[in-house]
Structure 1
Amino acid sequence: MSTPDERPIYIMMISMHGLIRAENLELGRDADTGGQITYVVELARALGKHPMVEKVDLITRRIEDENVSKDYSVPEEQLEQNARIIRLPCGPRRYLRKESLWPHLDQMVDQCLHFLRSQGGRLPDLLHTHYADAGYVGRQLSLLLGIPQVHTGHSLGHPKRQRLLAAGRKASSIERQFNFERRIAAEESILEHASMIVTSTQQEIDEQYSMYRHFDYQRFRVIPPGTDTTRFSPPGRRKISSELQAQIDRFFSNPDKPLILTICRPEVRKNLKGLIAAFGESTELQQQANLLIVAGARDDIRQLEESQQQVMLELLLDIDRYDLWGKVAIPKHVSQDNIPELYRLAARRRGVFVNAALTEPFGLTLIEAAASGLPFVAPDDGGPRDIVQNCRSGLLANTLDSNAIASALLDLLSDKKRWRTWAKNGLAGIRRHYNWPAHVNTYMKQVSQVLRRDRKRWRRQLVITLDSGKSYMPLVNSALISDIDNTLLGDKRSLRQLVHWLKERKGKFAFGIATGRTIESAVNILRQWQVPIPEVLITSVGSEIHYGARLIPDTGWANHIRHKWRRDALEEAMKYFPGLTLQAEENQREFKLSYIVDPDKMPPLEEINLHLRSQQLFAQLIYSHNEFLDLLPIRASKGHAIRYLAYKWGVPVRHFLVAGDSGNDHEMLVGDTLGVVVGNHSQELEQLRGMEQVYFAKGHYAAGILEGIAHYRFDEIEPSPVSEH
């Protein structure tokens, strides 16, 4: 693992959800396109300009949907000379909100691996993930490739759930909407694994991340976010569009009053309901100021997603309830180019920016307001605390209490001298604390420490390594996969020859095993026979996949095969059949139900299958050696596992040489794989004789594998063209 001290580094950033493009960000279009989008795009740009960064790839989801711009379907878009956006397929082509992305995240892991392979094998030095969904993807890549992961949470499940409950939402309702259980579990795994967690404030660490079991104070770094001061500036320096001003002022009976401005997405957490209550219940506030709410873009509220519809409808109903017509503006369309002008307009009218969110881990709009010379009111939670301390241009309020919001707004509006002082303070504070060059310089110093600290650790712990220390699973073009018992093992002399052959060609292709044994049993028997731990271990008859000496589980495979699997019900149903005895507990697995068979008493497999289907139970029945019966999920088997690996790692199925001796090897031996049946095979495999690409060796055990290697000229397989991403 290289460090910035040695050469410029390659950073892969991952941000899964929302609408990400280089220009004209559609912030506020929906609940997923907000401050995080601005941050990741600007950070990628700024890092791309740093002299010690070779390149930055910002990975996001490719979206082909007539309801959004075609920009989001373009596979690659340049940000800067050394920074680009890469869009990869993940799940359905249509746009999905982040809560619906979870079932598809393992595909993004695979797509990232394909992408890296398509780039000629140059692996990133660092992964930087944003939010829990990308963190999940990054953790898998980090484990598989041996690359340190840096993570920025942006928003956390635990505190968000807590605040929503405190606001009166039902637990069952918010779970359905936000999928907190899975999100928090992912956040725990990320915290356990990541080399560094970046936060914008100390409060995030002390009061939010500390709620998690895997909280480790030493891994956190506070690096305040930057803002683009070329866009945000006080009103004296740039003109304000008269057209935009007219668009806003048409809502107001008296447009010259100070302007209270809020910019946010229409979602419950942003607490627009609390803000309207604060304004509507304070006659004094209505007399002193107008309220401008920029809550995303819309043509028709009825076309918004359901949660946004609800927020907007309640907003309009509350405006009517408090009779705020002529005092509140809610424009339909405000482009991102207009946002800096709105800050300047509010500042010119001696107004206030307000962020009334229930919880605010970040506070980007507060930084933008301060950079525009506009004092602010913000939640006494998360990022705003540090921003107030650094900029001295705002007040904190308990945003769960609408009276507290109103009181803070009146406090700022009523003292003109303090308003001017705070406007100047904000400009100075932004220059000192919140500019992108300062952010990136601090970031690179911290990253350099991570890479130096982790270099030895990752080299010790790499899952699948070359002598260079790089993971090569994404780079190999072929793989040798063998059963263990009676195939790989059985004859010491031929095994030594095969092991020598493997060591001489290490790095050219992957070596793996596919066995009915459990992972623990497989590792033990390989060590007894002095076989190096393979790069890939397919165990428990294809129901589990692990990688390398650290035995990293492939969670994507587990999620894939969980489909229609009801283990307890299957075990109960199998009691109906004679001739079956459950194997010992150590042979039972989450995705494998194993029996010892009395072949004279057990009914035909077809009869068992029919009985199970009649009870809406689904399983694969794997019968081997006339002695064992394994029930697996319908998507699990050695053959399915190999095809999954072929897809995941971009290795053609026809470049897998597979060797076996019994019935549970059947599926991986047929099809496009290069099948080798060793000479000491079971009678069950005789039905394959004569099939194309199934070679029956004369040699027994490892000698048969070596014979198959020679037959297929496996050592001569040439790399095939890598498809474009």
Structure 2
Amino acid sequence: MFLLHVALQGCLRADNVEYGLTADTGGHIRYLLDLVKASSAAGPVRRTVIATRGFESDLGAEYAPAPVRAEAGVEILRLATRSPHYLPKEELWAETESFAEGLIAWIEAQGQRPDMLHAHYADAASVAAIVEDRLGIPFVFTAHSLGRVKADVMGARAAEVPHLGKRIEIEEAAIRRASLVIASSRDEAEVQYAGYAGYDPGRIRILPPGSDLSRFGAATACPEVEASINRFLSEPDKPVLLALARPVAKKNLCALVRAFGENAELRQRANLVIMAGNRQDLAALDGEMAGEIREILCLIDRYDLYGQVAYPKTHRPDDVAAIYAYARDRRGVFVNPALNEPFGLTLLEASAVGLPLVATDSGGPNDIIEMCGNGELVDPQSTQAIAEGALRILRDPALWDGYAKAGAKAVAAYDWSRHATRYHELLASLLAQRPETIAPRPDQLLICDIDNTLVGCDIGVRRFSQWRSEQEGMVFGVATGRSFHSAMSILEQRDAPRPQVMITSVGSEIYHLDANGTTYTADPDWRAIVQRGWNRQAVLRALKGLPGLQPQAALEQRAFKLSYFSDGDREITARVRARLEVAGLQCSVIHSHGRYLDILPVRASKGTAVDFVRRRYGLPENAVFVAGDSGNDIEMLRTIPQAIIVANFSDDLASLPALSHSYVARATHARGVIEGVLHFRNKARSAWQSAR
């Protein structure tokens, strides 16, 4: 496979990147370089080239236009465009046509064309679309950050951002055109992209970036780093609130200074250390970064924080691990207060060192803290929430210890080799355009719950995958409380077979695998059915303030699903139904694991969704198998005669009278599913033989 990455913006070079040198020398460059190195080191990739924009400037001669050359083992092509000068990312849209012409000429001069383009940021997607029109080479798209999200968080100030409307327009075109969109987090896939007219969830995959965290796990402080920070502080041995980010508005560093300055207890307990990129002279920074640094300095003066805040002008890339270690050794906290963080590589680095996190609840930190359980999510718009999040950790030594220890999970969970493997599988699948083998008239349908049914035992998943490959004429699907992207992510992480049907969000959404065997399409007929009579706002009003009920995070809410935590009260379901009935609302109420409570349209459930899929394939009920383990599977298990309860069930499923027809497997997880299917097949075979 020959991959061509297109990334116009930033001062891109293969090593010793001067992060923070300009407003667009940030995490996306680190992501791109790490992806290219991991991709080139493993898998079916025989060649990888990065095509970027060459320009003349005093930022460095190495950024000038140049033919392909190897830089630290990475092939980089620097193409000239209409303007010879460095341009900020907001102005690059004007260069895409001239860049595309140069790139097409280069491709046509190669002995072999690239198999796939990977466009980084929307301006690169504009280039890739021109290349695809002319040469037929498909492309995938990684946005890294989105203009509409920036506009939303900035509010009225968005009008001051040059060309932001043009950027959003280009992003719309990129989302519609790309063969596949790669997102870093659930928030990006399900919330950020959802604001675009071209949003198509079935063409988005969550692929969390990896990170080379090996050097962070054994990080130690060094005298030079300590000296550069301590010179600012009156009490340098106090715990540290550490922030490490470029000084741009979306990173929200000023809010962190306000949170610190406004909270006397926080100032008493800790120092604040802000590593805001690199600068030699404030006057030499570009406008946004210079403005943010000035605002930080003004806030330090306003709150009289001298001796309590450190803000070194420079640090080397090799110093970063030691900076984290400095904060860890003082039992400090790493704080990321960004208005939106697409992923958060610094959070992974801090986690690997053993620093607890306080992070924005907007973006990738949701996934990281859910995975690792090593910090607090806070509203970045609330300085009080930021301060309280930090204080919860600083006040409680046992909590600090637990979060610090849990950070080690990041090393195993976010690995570049694993990322590269999944990345190659997706690209190969797109290039193959090989449809899944579905019989024209399938004769059986198997639908499984995911958590603790299909997955939960790696050996069982491997056995199931092999068994599944041998089932001719069977359509395989999943039914889960997870969202589409969350479900797809867990299936791919566990190497489960790709379903032809995905029933997600407790049956409120249905997706079908496209003919290319890679992307999915939401079922419009099912959406039309479930939305009839559904009044989401009325349900919210009816349940507001109900004792024993707490809304789950915004990321868990869907258009046709409202999700809550319950306090474990056995009567909570009855009380919820009574409150809805008083309000004149008909809804499905599903309580599972004694903690999770979902409110759905009355026509939506796993059971009704499975029946809809059965009828779509024209199958009788006795040709359908369903398998589950918990309370949110009851409707599905109750309505299908050939129901399987795996041995590791919960919520007393096996003793429920409504499920007396079910087969309770002796085996757990996926092996219990296989056992159940074979049981019902043998039963049907015996009945057929007796009838003869």
CA distance in 2, matches of 1:410, 1:305: 35
- CA 1:363–1:313 in 2, change beyond 3 Å: closer, same or farther? same
Per-residue Cα deviation, 1:580-610 (whole angstroms, up to 9, x for no partner): xxxxxxxxxxxxxxxxxxxxxxxxxxxxxxx
Pair 171,203 (structure 1): closer, same or farther in 2 beyond 3 Å: closer
Relative distance call for 1:296 and 1:171 in structure 2 (3 A) is closer
For 1:208-234, what per-residue CA distance to the aligned partner results, in whole angstroms no more than 9, with x for missing partners? 11111111111111111111123322x
Query: Could you tell me whether the CA contact under 8 Å between 1:24 and 1:337 is conserved in 2?
Result: no
Aligned to 1:93: 84
Question: How far has the Cα of 1:70 moved from its partner?
Answer: 3.1
DSSP-derived class of the 1:378 partner? strand
1:243 CA drift (Å): 1.5
Counterpart CA distance in 2 for 1:411 and 1:381 is 20
Match of 1:196 among 180, 195, 198: 180
| Structure 2 equivalent of residue 133 of structure 1 | 123
Whose Rg is larger? 1
Confirm whether residue 59 of structure 1 aligns to residue 51 of structure 2: yes
Q: Is 2:415 the counterpart of 1:435?
A: yes
How far has the Cα of 1:77 moved from its partner? 4.3
Tell me how far apart the structure 2 counterparts of residues 226 and 205 of structure 1 sit (CA, whole Å).
Answer: 17
Match of 1:253 in 2: 234
Question: 1:451 maps to what in 2?
Answer: 431
Change (3 A) 1:126 1:251: same
- Find the aligned partners of 1:109 and 1:285 in 2 and give their Cα distance: 52
User: Is residue 170 of structure 1 aligned with residue 157 of structure 2?
Assistant: yes
1:219-265 Cα offsets, whole Å, 9 max, x none, are: 111111111123322xxx34422112111111110110111111111
Given that 1:31 and 1:267 are in contact with CA atoms closer than 8 Å, whether structure 2 keeps it comes out as: yes
Output the CA distance in 2 between the equivalents of 1:454 and 1:88: 35
Match of 1:102 among 71, 93, 96: 93
Which whole-Å CA distance do the structure 2 matches of 1:408 and 1:155 have between them? 25
Shift in CA distance, 455/90, structure 1 to aligned 2, threshold 3 Å: farther
Residue aligning to 1:41: 33
Find the counterpart in structure 2 of residue 421 from structure 1.
402
Instruction: Render the CA deviation track for 1:479-532: whole Å, top value 9, x for unaligned.
Output: xxxxxxxxxxxxxxxxxxxxxxxxxxxxxxxxxxxxxxxxxxxxxxxxxxxxxx
For the residues of structure 2 that align with 1:443 and 1:286, how far apart are their CA atoms? Answer: 45
Kept in 1, the 8 Å contact 2:242–2:273? The answer is yes
Cα-Cα RMSD = 1.8
8 Å CA contact retained: 1:148, 1:454: no
Q: TM-score, normalised to structure 1's length?
A: 0.58
The gaps in structure 1 that reach 5 residues or longer are 1-8, 457-725
* 3-state DSSP of counterpart to 2:192: helix
User: Distance between the aligned counterparts of 1:29 and 1:162, measured in 2?
Assistant: 26
- CA drift of 1:429 comes to 3.1
Q: 1:94 to 1:279 in 2, by over 3 A?
A: same
Q: Distance in 1 between matches of 2:130 and 2:360?
A: 35
- For the residue of structure 2 that corresponds to 1:78, the secondary structure is strand
Cα distance between partner residues in 2 of 1:391 and 1:143: 43
CA-CA distance at 1:270 after TM superposition: 0.9
How far apart are the structure 2 equivalents of 1:397 and 1:295?
21
2:220·2:326 contact (CA, 8 Å) conserved in 1?
no
Contact 1:413/1:419 (<8 A) preserved: yes
Q: Match of 2:192?
A: 208
Q: Is the 8 A contact 1:48 1:80 kept in 2?
A: no
| 1:13 alignment partner, SS class | strand
Counterpart of 1:50 (choices 39, 42, 46) is 42
- In the TM superposition, residue 69 of structure 1 has moved relative to its aligned partner by 5.2
Shift of residue 72 of structure 1? 5.6
Residue identity matched to 2:305: L
C-alpha separation in 1, matches of 2:332 and 2:339: 22
1:389 paired residue number: 370
How many angstroms does 1:79 deviate by? 5.2
- Specify which of 96, 108, 112 is matched with residue 117 of structure 1: 108
In structure 2, how many angstroms separate the alpha carbons of the residues matched to 1:426 and 1:143? 46
How far has the Cα of 1:94 moved from its partner?
A: 2.4
**Whole-Å separation in 1 of the counterparts to 2:98 and 2:434:** 27
| 1:363 alignment counterpart | 344
Name the CA distance, whole Å, in 1 between partners of 2:46 and 2:262. Answer: 55
Residue number in structure 1 paired with 2:316: 335
Residue 78 of structure 1 deviates from its aligned partner by 2.6
Q: Distance in 2 between matches of 1:106 and 1:11?
A: 21
Say whether the 8 Å CA contact 2:275–2:311 is kept in structure 1: yes
SS of structure 2 residue aligned to 1:57: strand
Q: Following superposition of structure 1 onto structure 2, how do residues 203-602 of structure 1 map, counting pairs within 5 Å?
A: 203-233=187-217, 237-431=218-412, 433-453=413-433
Deviation at 1:73, TM superposition (A): 5.4
Residues in 1 aligned to 2:64 and 2:417: alpha-carbon distance in whole angstroms: 28
1: CA distance between counterparts of 2:250 and 2:243? 14
**1:64, CA displacement in angstroms?**
2.2
| Alignment-mate amino acid for residue 28 of structure 1 | G
In 1, Cα distance between equivalents of 2:55 and 2:434: 35
Matches of 1:263 and 1:69, distance apart in 2: 28
Q: Name stretches of at least 5 consecutive residues in structure 2 with no aligned partner.
A: 437-692
3-state SS in 2 of match to 1:324 = coil
CA contact 1:27–1:296 (8 Å) conserved in 2: yes
Contact 1:225–1:434 under 8 Å retained in 2: yes
Distance 1:188 1:343 in 2: 38
Deviation at 1:183, TM superposition (A): 1.1
Amino acid in the other structure paired with 2:46: E
Rounded to whole Å, the distance in 1 between the matches of 2:220 and 2:349 is 17
Q: Is the 8 A contact 2:240 2:333 kept in 1?
A: yes
Amino acid at match of 1:199: A
Residue 182 of structure 1 corresponds to which residue in structure 2?
166
CA distance in 1, matches of 2:190, 2:14: 34
> Aligned residue pairs: how many?
436
* Contact 1:47-1:53 at 8 Å conserved across structures: yes
Q: Could you tell me which of 126, 136, 158 is aligned with 2:148?
A: 158
Does the 8 Å contact 2:239/2:270 carry over to 1?
A: yes
- How far residue 29 of structure 1 moved from its aligned partner, in angstroms, is 1.9
Instruction: Indicate which of 132, 135, 140 corresponds to 1:142.
Output: 132
Distance in 2 (CA, whole Å) between partners of 1:368 and 1:96 is: 31
1:425–1:157 Cα change, 3 Å: same
Q: TM-score with structure 2 length normalisation?
A: 0.61
Q: Please tell me the residue identity of whatever aligns with 2:426.
A: Q
Cα distance between partner residues in 2 of 1:161 and 1:133? 18
Q: Can you list the C-alpha shifts for 1:141-177, whole angstroms capped at 9, x where unaligned?
A: 1222212211111111112101100xxx434313xx2
Task: Supply the distance in 1 between the matched residues of 2:216 and 2:427 (Cα, whole angstroms).
Answer: 29
Q: Deviations over 1:314-367 (max 9, x none)?
A: 111110000011111111111111112111211121111111111111212111
**Contact persistence 2:65–2:80 (CA under 8 A):** no
Corresponding letter in the other structure for 1:310: G
